[in-house]
Chain A
Amino acid sequence: MRNVWIITRRELAAYFSTPVAFVFIAIFVAMTGALTFYIGRFFERDQATLDTFFAYHPFLYLALVPAVSMRLWAEERKTGTIEQLLTLPITTTEAVLGKFIAAWLFCGIALALTVTMWITVNVLGDPDNGAIMVGYIGSFLMAGAFLAIGICMSALTRNQIIAFIAGAVVCFLFTMSGLDLVLNIFRGWAPSALIETIASFSFLSRFQSLTRGVVEVRDIIFLVSVTAFWLFATVIFVDARKAA
């Protein structure tokens, strides 16, 4: 675990070594505000909840989370530092976990800075703070699942742009798989068991129940196991293709 933390610290410092990190956080915070107030019509709804705020998170993550994860392995491979890193006395798992935790903390920092929304809704009304808490936890877990997918895509290429696009596409499929838009493609020919399976992989439906303040253990287990699965795949890909 010590090595994981040392790698996490290095990666976090790397995020903040350029102004890009601050720009990213500013965009995230500004976008959540703009979407909630203007598109989500926060004031017109006249309800003391953050439902509209959370509703846009999956779509923001779709664009922003792959941008956080894209450099994690692609850059190591491009600059050759992967050889330096993996000939140190650490395991690939420690390296993957260290990088993931750094990226997850980075997203957590961005998410924590939206606390102004929570203050606003508490000043204006009397919201269910328990539900908001659950919403934040759900959002953080979903960011972790998106990141795990993004890191895996980053491990497959040395080109950060490709890592970004591939990450966004896979995240998109996972997010949307519960919508009729996707399911209608399968309806009519696929067995209903398959359709239900596809629908059950949707991040969106899991996340929506969490943002309503409903703590379903299976939703949390789903997000955590999706994260674990993609991180496991990342370890395998890094090991198999590290010199490519």
Chain B
Amino acid sequence: MTMVEIDHLSKSFGDFRAVDDISLTVSKGEVLGFLGPNGAGKTTTMRMVCGFLTPTSGTARVCGHDVVTQSRATKQVIGYLPEGSPSYDDMSVRNFLRFIAEIRGFTGQERDDRIHRVVKRLDLGDVIERPIDVLSKGYRRRVGLAQSILHDPPVLILDEPTDGLDPNQKHEVRGLIKEMSTDKAIVISTHILEEVEAVCSRAVIIGRGKVLADGTAADLRALVPGGNLDEVFRFVTTGRQAAE
């Protein structure tokens, strides 16, 4: 079942074409790895799908809702972790999650139950009363993940969910993503190639705003002799092989 359908999406900032006619789909049960060098248009694409940026042309549909014309409906079915997981530093973890829960329409016991569940799932119990600005990077990222899955959305869009985490934390976050992938469509952006192997069922490589390659890790490996993913990445995004 197709959950996310990106349809000829483009975005220009002045003369700069950040995203250039991207089309792709993500189905339920899939974890799509969104790869590309810095500045390739990963974040811009995700921001358009999540309704933060308005596309210059084209559109995307999430669970059948058009992101341009049915913005609120799409935002309800998406859980989004923005790049760097920005959150209100002056709030405690509990108050922040409560704010998110209320905006998502949960009140009373249900709100508290949902907060309790995500806090347990992301192991935030020890820091729940602390203000977010004193938390370590790993905890902050987990707070960001907690807010994105609080409403149990059918579509998860995570912009660099493991960036800046230590190996143990990365392992935990990947475990969480895998665990959730059975009944959701998940898109994660990353430039860490090992992540593709670890969690993604499919990967899309983009560069200069265009889709350059789309397939499973095995498909991508077949693109270069030897099948090293780093070399695939280099080959696809620059057209050169590492040995050259």
Contact = CB atoms under 8 A, between A and B. Distances in A.
Interface of A: 3, 6-7, 10, 13-14, 17-18, 79-81, 83-84, 86-91, 242-243
B216 interface: no
A170 to B, nearest CB: 27
B90 A14 contact: yes
Nearest to A79: B86
A87 B102 CA distance: 14
A201 to B, nearest CB: 33
B99 A10 contact: yes
16 contacts: A6-B102, A6-B103, A10-B99, A14-B91, A17-B90, A18-B90, A80-B82, A80-B86, A81-B86, A81-B87, A84-B87, A86-B52, A87-B50, A88-B104, A89-B72, A89-B103
B103 to A, nearest CB: 5
B47 A83 contact: yes
A13 B52 contact: no
B82 A84 contact: yes
Interface string B79-111: 010111011111100010001101111000000
A149 to B, nearest CB: 25
A87 B74 CA distance: 9
B142 to A, nearest CB: 15
A157 B87 CA distance: 19
Contacts of B80: 87
Contacts of A81: 86-88
Interface in B108-164: 147
A3 B82 contact: no
Contacts of A6: 99, 102-103
B82 A87 contact: yes
A90 B100 CA distance: 11
Nearest to A16: B90
Interface in B47-92: 47, 50-53, 72, 75-76, 78, 80, 82-84, 86-91
The 5 nearest A-B residue pairs measured at CB: A80-B86, A89-B75, A83-B82, A17-B90, A87-B50
B33 to A, nearest CB: 21
A243 B87 CA distance: 16
Nearest to A86: B52
A89 B102 contact: no
A18 B72 CA distance: 33
Nearest to B88: A81
B107 to A, nearest CB: 9
Contacts of A243: 47, 52-53
A3 B100 CA distance: 11
Contacts of A80: 82-84, 86
A79 B86 CA distance: 7
A81 B91 CA distance: 12
A28 B203 CA distance: 58
A147 to B, nearest CB: 20
Given A13-B95, A89-B76, A243-B53, 5 more contacts: A13-B91, A86-B51, A87-B52, A88-B100, A242-B53
With a 10 A CB-CB cut-off, give which of A86, A89, A90 has the most chain B CB atoms: A89
Contacts of B84: 80
B104 A89 contact: yes
A91 B73 CA distance: 11
A90 B78 contact: no
B86 A87 contact: no
With a 10 A CB-CB cut-off, give which of A17, A86, A87, A91 has the most chain B CB atoms: A87
A14 to B, nearest CB: 5
A84 B86 contact: yes
